[in-house]
């Protein structure tokens, strides 16, 4: 029996209660089974009769609740299980065990009512047709979600204006820059005004200006539409500007769920200053240790770990003391912060 026939006879799922949790996850786990092949011809022949099985846990025990309108950062180092979790919540993967409810639906049951109320945007995946103008892909999405033409045109006009891509609608997707393409992908994900939005690295690879535009757009959309958003990102700026709350997982397990300010105060109270110069300090490397922890140094490069409240005075002092060719100030990579939290 086809999917449409099944959905017609199946009882409707429990609908989301107004003001209640939008996302409820309990003990979610996803494991993959693979088979190891022994090397050589003998190993290949042996594999025909006996295969060695190996189980890999991508997600082991993830639990959290997200309320309506929250903008939550979902963090962890590479391989922690973030994308796998989002795919389960989007209904693309079946869990090995555990439960999840989004908008009152079980995601992997793939009810049509659920699919019309959420969106998943993967920063490294394309949903737009590569060889068509962006507008045609967006019109196709509007037809799929049965959006009335007047609403489609109004939403399209509003979002393309906010993202600065109104004049790019007639250009082939393959000819758009990475930043322009990501903005079009974001428009495609939000055309049907989903109540829940899963974002996986939406600003990856974008230049600083495009990152800022996308962040401002997402912040305004969250405030105006009360869209519940779960965001994964390796850019600390994304998390700091958009999320008050963060959930951190590592090795498939939740080990922090709370306010971002608590993490920054405890584990990220410093920045990295990298200086390129023509010569080493006159007093040697010992003379710059007063400014912060020396992470790296050579005849032409100096990298310091400096307290946040001392970054500006330290930069001024270095500019006065050294013939500086270039100076760069960066946030500590989110992976380093997470690693430090986990180690403690």
DSSP 41-81: HHHHHHHHH--EEEEEEEEEEEEEEEETT-EEEEE-STTSS
Give 127 or 303, the one with higher predicted confidence. 303
**% pLDDT > 70, the chain:** 91
Beta-bridge partners for 26: 99
Sign of CA dihedral 84, 89, 95, 97: positive
CB 21 within 8 A of CB 67: yes
Has residue 244 got a pLDDT over 70? yes
Query: And the tokens for 26?
Result: 């309990």
CATH number for the segment(s) 68-91+107-264: 3.40.50.300
CB 230 within 8 A of CB 199: yes
Beta-bridge partners for 59: 30
Give 281 or 75, the one with higher predicted confidence. 75
C-alpha distances in Å from residue 53, one per residue of 19, 42, 59, 265? 46, 18, 19, 45
CB 291 within 8 A of CB 317: yes
Domain ranges within the chain, ordered by starting residue? 68-91+107-264, 269-343
3-state secondary structure of 285: helix
Containing H/E element for 181? helix 178-190
Give 297 or 337, the one with higher predicted confidence. 297
Has residue 99 got a pLDDT over 80? yes
Burial of 92 (0-12, 13-18, 19+ CB in 10 A): middle
Has residue 9 got a pLDDT over 60? no
Of the candidate ranges 13-22, 97-106, 168-177, 292-301, the one whose mean pLDDT is the lowest: 13-22
Average pLDDT of the chain is 85
- How much is the pLDDT for 270? 86
3-state secondary structure of 142: helix
Domain 269-343 fold: Alpha-Beta Plaits (3.30.70)
In this prediction, residues 56-79 reach a mean pLDDT of 91
Has residue 19 got a pLDDT over 70? no
Give 268 or 179, the one with higher predicted confidence. 179
CB 38 within 8 A of CB 84: no
CB 232 within 8 A of CB 338: no
Give 151 or 48, the one with higher predicted confidence. 151
Query: And the tokens for 97?
Result: 């065990």
The tokens 């029996």 sit on which residue? 1
**CA proximity to 81, closest of 149, 28, 13:** 28
Q: What share of the chain is helix, strand, coil (3-state, %, to 5)?
A: 40, 30, 30
**Distance in angstroms (rounded) separating the CA atoms of residues 41 and 251:** 35
CB 186 within 8 A of CB 202: yes
The tokens 């959006």 sit on which residue? 147
Beta-bridge partners for 250: 253
Query: And the tokens for 40?
Result: 């050589």
- How much is the pLDDT for 53? 77
Q: How far is CA 89 from the centre of its chain?
A: 14
- How much is the pLDDT for 11? 41
Highest mean pLDDT pick, 19-33, 87-101, 301-315: 87-101
The tokens 């959905």 sit on which residue? 7
**CA proximity to 84, closest of 105, 55, 61:** 61
- How much is the pLDDT for 123? 76
Taking only the tens place, the pLDDT of each residue in 116-146 is: 999 999 877 778 888 899 999 999 999 999 9
CB 213 within 8 A of CB 241: no
3-state secondary structure of 123: coil
């Amino acid at each position: 029996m086809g999917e449409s026939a099944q959905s017609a006879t199946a009882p409707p799922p429990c609908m989301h209660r107004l003001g209640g949790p939008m996302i409820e996850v309990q003990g979610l786990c996803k494991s993959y089974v693979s088979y190891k092949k022994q090397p050589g011809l003998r190993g290949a022949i042996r594999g025909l009769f006996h295969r060695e099985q190996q189980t890999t846990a991508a997600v082991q025990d993830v639990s959290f609740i997200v309320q309506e309108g929250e903008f939550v950062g979902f963090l962890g180092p590479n391989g922690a299980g973030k994308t796998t979790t989002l795919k389960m919540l989007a209904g693309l993967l079946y869990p090995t065990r555990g439960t999840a409810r989004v908008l009152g639906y079980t995601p992997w049951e793939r009810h049509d009512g659920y699919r019309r109320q959420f969106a998943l945007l993967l920063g490294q995946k394309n949903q737009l047709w590569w060889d068509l103008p962006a507008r045609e892909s967006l019109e196709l999405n509007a037809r799929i979600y049965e959006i009335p033409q007047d609403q489609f045109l109004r939403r399209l006009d509003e979002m393309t204006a906010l993202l600065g891509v109104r004049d790019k609608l007639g250009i082939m997707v393959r000819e758009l820059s990475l930043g322009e393409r990501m903005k079009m992908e974001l428009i495609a994900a939000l055309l049907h005004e989903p109540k829940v939005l899963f974002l996986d690295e939406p600003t990856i690879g974008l230049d600083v200006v495009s990152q800022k535009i996308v962040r401002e757009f997402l912040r305004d959309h969250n405030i105006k539409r009360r869209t519940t958003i779960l965001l994964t990102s390796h850019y600390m700026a994304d998390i700091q500007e958009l999320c008050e709350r963060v959930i951190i997982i590592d090795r498939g397990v939740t080990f922090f769920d709370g306010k971002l300010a608590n993490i920054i105060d405890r584990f990220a109270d410093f920045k990295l200053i990298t200086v390129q110069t023509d010569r080493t300090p006159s007093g040697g490397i010992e003379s710059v240790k007063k400014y912060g922890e020396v992470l790296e140094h050579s005849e032409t490069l100096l990298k310091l770990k400096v307290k946040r409240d001392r970054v500006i005075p330290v930069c001024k002092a270095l500019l006065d003391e050294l013939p500086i060719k270039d100076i760069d100030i960066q946030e500590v990579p989110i992976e380093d912060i997470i690693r430090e939290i986990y180690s403690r």
